[in-house]
Amino acid sequence: MQQTIKADEGWRIWWQLTRPHTLTAAFAPVFLGTMIALTYGNGPLHIPLFLALLIASILIQMATNMFNEYYDFKRGLDTEESIGIGGAIVRNGVKPKTVLNLAFLLYGISVLIGIYICIQTSWLLAVVGIVSMLIGYYYTGGPYPIAYTPFGELVSGVVMGMLLILIAFYIQTGTVTGHAILLSIPSMLLVAAIMMSNNIRDLEGDKRSGRKTLAILVGRANAITILMLFFLISYVWIIGLVLFGQLTFWAILVLLSVRKPIKAITTFRKYTQPLQVMPAMKETAVTNTVFGLLLGIGILFGYLFS
């Protein structure tokens, strides 16, 4: 039964619908890719392009979250008892069609921004943008959602982690270098970690609904180990790049965030109930954000003080 949304709580419901804690997964890669371009590019930054890509990326992330909300409801995966950040439809009375239309509206706005970016850079980015948006839709939409398969972590990591960094780098420099690709690897792993943590939390419910996520296929204990490896490789990767002279010592700033993944793994090992492991999901998302920001700042400091 649809509920009536009170005016004083309406904005909170719409804000929750965007799943705000996931939006940093769009901000951090754009910032990092831009910092890489600043230090390894051939000219000054184009600030309007940076802002345009940032806004478009956040809008696409919002829309993807809304598609998730809509299709989880349509498939009966979201109920009033569900644990998580969703629930605008089942708990707050927002009409499903409204959620779907709003997602497409955000896609439309991001397309307009994308046209501006292409005019300023290259129309090849239009192809990349369309593919990214299709992946965002089919992540939970369509007859065979990506999120219901073992490839959710891989796809989200490549698109929202690596690809977004490379696009941010490309629009500033007009090229993609091997160095930029190397620096995008940790972001790819940490975005994948966000998806893995979500799938660990929802493992039992997903299993009952017929999903075949990676966490289900390998089992909970192995899924936590894979999550730990995502974290570990990300930090070791940056340390390795510093030791091999690909980054300045300032990049070690990423180690300031290491307590977050440790807390996440500890929580997942200690608890099994979805509500109990919610803090671990938050720590995983924060790790991605803080790691990306610290790496970007470290790269900037290396540029300014070397």
From residue 146, alpha-carbon distances to 69, 126, 193, 221 in Å are: 15, 22, 16, 23
Distance CA 250, CA 47 (A): 24
- The pLDDT, as a whole number, for residue 2 is 45
Work out the angle between the directed axes of helices 259-270 and 220-243 (0-180°, nearest 10): 170
- The pLDDT, as a whole number, for residue 55 is 95
Rounded to 5°, angle at Cα 190 from 68 and 30: 80
Weakly modelled stretches of the chain, pLDDT under 70: 1-15, 18, 21, 41-42, 76-93
Q: Structure pTM?
A: 0.87
- The pLDDT, as a whole number, for residue 98 is 85
Burial of 42 by CB count in 10 Å (0-12 exposed, 13-18 middle, 19+ buried)? exposed
For 149-171, write each residue's pLDDT tens digit: 999 999 999 998 999 999 999 99
Distance CA 39, CA 193 (A): 28
Rounded to 5°, angle at Cα 283 from 80 and 25: 85
- The pLDDT, as a whole number, for residue 100 is 87
- The pLDDT, as a whole number, for residue 47 is 94
Q: Where are the alpha helices (DSSP H) in 75-174?
A: 96-120, 124-138, 152-156, 164-173
- The pLDDT, as a whole number, for residue 74 is 78
- The pLDDT, as a whole number, for residue 54 is 94
For 62-97, write each residue's pLDDT tens digit: 888 888 888 877 776 655 455 444 555 655 567 888
- The pLDDT, as a whole number, for residue 34 is 95
Q: Is the dihedral of CA 123, 128, 131, 136 positive or negative?
A: negative
- The pLDDT, as a whole number, for residue 51 is 96
Q: Which CATH class is domain 7-305?
A: mainly alpha
Distance CA 30, CA 50 (A): 8
